[in-house]
Copies of this chain bind each other. A is one copy, B any other.
């Protein structure tokens, strides 16, 4: 079975997010002072082949822990859905 994972990786709440801070101040400059608290993270989409949802979940978790996310600076969450083959 093939699954599609949508992974969101964001900087830890407690940590400074310099990119987000920079974007927040740019908002005033382009006439959007109503926008605040910008935080910039990553969105990763991938396909995983596995026998079950549980196995797919374990693979995606492994990919996040080993390669995609930095646990010191980032938190991640993901959702998984089975890909329908036409």
Contact = CB atoms under 8 A, between A and B. Distances in A.
Nearest to A49: B34
Interface residues of A, number: 33
A36 B47 contact: yes
Nearest to A37: B47
Interface class of chain A by DSSP: strand
Contacts of A63: 27, 30, 32, 35
A26 B59 contact: no
A80 interface: no
Contacts of A67: 23, 26-27, 30
A39 interface: yes
A44 B44 CA distance: 13
Given A8-B43, A38-B46, 8 more contacts: A23-B68, A34-B48, A36-B49, A39-B46, A40-B43, A41-B44, A42-B43, A43-B43
